[in-house]
């Protein structure tokens, strides 16, 4: 029993995904447990610890067989320990989560922001395998991102490296959108932003569109009908891709990553989205970085557990 094991955990607002990795980083098993966010999430860590112990027992493993646990969380993380209060977890956080979880499990723990974990996962086993630097963009309901330099996550001084959703794209934007400043990238590039743009567009014109058949227009439906050539849907996805391409070109000016990876639920729009973003990127990028590789993420929902495990294997640490 010389093999050493690692757990990778991706703690989300509804469920937590857990993965058990063998010594060479092979994913041996993965499973989910529900996230209990009642009482400010006081059961979150005990529930996770119980699940970890259960799986150790089932495999007749002890704590000393485990190198450690990487724990991805939906919030800002400082020094791989302290997690800022997480909106999606009912305000859970504001303490040394890694330390507390380590005491519960009896093994060492490192905490990591979930977008950062997904980025590390893609870098290790996914779309950016072999790259030294990358910019990972997670387009879901909101917009998250992560910067990797020299194979390490850049947390940022305030734990805010990768807050690209807050880049102001249009100072003249008159409409407010969610929490954050007007005209920020997330207002245009996110599932919620796209749906909002669709509502405004459909209201403002009489032009027919297949999107009018739905009570609820979703990002997925917009991309589906854009692929079918629906004029208004195309207009929406083109604006989406153009804003994102312009922002990515700006990112290349700031830190010139080797590869840019598009992940998150909206990236399921696939090559249609990728091609449009690449086209817009080229339009706005300086010559030196015009050919930066832009790819779709490949690990899907498993990116987070891979990345959390990788952090634990990595001996190194995140950069600031």
Contact positions toward a second copy, by CB under 8 A? Answer: 76, 132-133, 147, 149-150, 154-168, 171, 180-181, 184, 246, 249-258, 284-286, 288-289, 292, 319-320
Taking the C-alpha atoms of residue 196 and residue 271, their distance in angstroms, rounded to an integer, is 23
**DSSP-assigned beta bridge partners for residue 301:** none
Taking the C-alpha atoms of residue 214 and residue 114, their distance in angstroms, rounded to an integer, is 32
- Nearer Cβ to a second copy (1/174): 174
Report, in Å, the least distance between residue 19 CB and a second copy. Answer: 28
For the record, the structure tokens of 245 come out as 């391409």
- Nearer Cβ to a second copy (160/199): 160
Report, in Å, the least distance between residue 300 CB and a second copy. Answer: 25
- Nearer Cβ to a second copy (8/245): 245
Q: What is the 3-state secondary structure (H, E, C) of 35-53?
A: CCCHHHHCCHHHHHHHHHH
Report helix, strand or coil for 219: helix
- Nearer Cβ to a second copy (11/285): 285
Q: Is the dihedral of CA 154, 158, 159, 160 positive or negative?
A: negative
Report, in Å, the least distance between residue 74 CB and a second copy. Answer: 15
Report, in Å, the least distance between residue 233 CB and a second copy. Answer: 22
Residues 6+ apart with CB under 8 A from 32: 15, 16, 17, 18
- Nearer Cβ to a second copy (272/284): 284
- Nearer Cβ to a second copy (56/73): 73
Report, in Å, the least distance between residue 131 CB and a second copy. Answer: 8
Taking the C-alpha atoms of residue 247 and residue 284, their distance in angstroms, rounded to an integer, is 9
Q: What is the 3-state secondary structure (H, E, C) of 237-270?
A: HHHHHHHHHHHHHHHHHHHCCCEEEEECHHHHHC
Report, in Å, the least distance between residue 91 CB and a second copy. Answer: 16
Other C-beta atoms closer than 10 Å to the C-beta of 136 total 33
């Amino acid at each position: 029993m010389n093999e050493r094991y690692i757990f990778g955990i991706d703690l989300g607002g509804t469920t937590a995904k857990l993965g058990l990795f063998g010594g060479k980083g092979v994913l041996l098993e993965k499973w989910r447990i529900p996230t209990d966010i009642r009482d400010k999430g006081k059961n979150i860590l005990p529930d996770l610890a119980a699940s970890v112990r259960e799986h150790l027992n089932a495999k007749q493993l002890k704590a000393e067989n485990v190198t450690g646990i990487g724990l991805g969380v939906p919030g800002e993380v400082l020094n791989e320990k302290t997690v800022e209060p997480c909106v999606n977890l009912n305000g859970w956080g504001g303490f040394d989560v890694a330390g507390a979880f380590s005491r519960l499990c009896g093994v060492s723990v490192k905490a990591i922001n979930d977008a950062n974990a997904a980025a590390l996962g893609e870098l290790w086993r996914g779309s950016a395998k072999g790259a030294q630097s990358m910019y990972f963009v997670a387009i879901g309901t909101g917009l998250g991102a992560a910067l990797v330099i020299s194979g390490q996550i850049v947390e940022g001084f305030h734990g805010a490296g990768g807050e690209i959703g807050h880049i102001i794209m249009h100072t003249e934007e008159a409409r407010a959108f969610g929490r954050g400043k007007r005209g920020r990238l997330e207002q245009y590039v996110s599932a919620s932003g796209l749906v909002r743009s669709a509502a405004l567009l459909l209201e403002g014109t009489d032009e027919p569109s297949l999107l009018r058949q739905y009570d609820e227009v979703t990002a997925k439906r917009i991309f589906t009908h854009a692929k079918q050539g629906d004029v208004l849907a195309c207009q929406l996805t083109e604006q989406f891709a153009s804003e994102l391409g312009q922002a990515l070109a700006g990112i290349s000016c700031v830190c010139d990553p080797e590869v840019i990876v598009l992940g998150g639920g909206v990236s399921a729009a696939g090559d249609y989205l990728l091609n449009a973003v690449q086209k817009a990127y080229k339009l706005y990028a300086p010559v030196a970085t015009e050919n930066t590789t832009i790819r779709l993420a490949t690990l899907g929902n498993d990116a987070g557990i891979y990345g959390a495990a990788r952090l634990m294997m990595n001996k190194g640490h995140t950069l600031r």
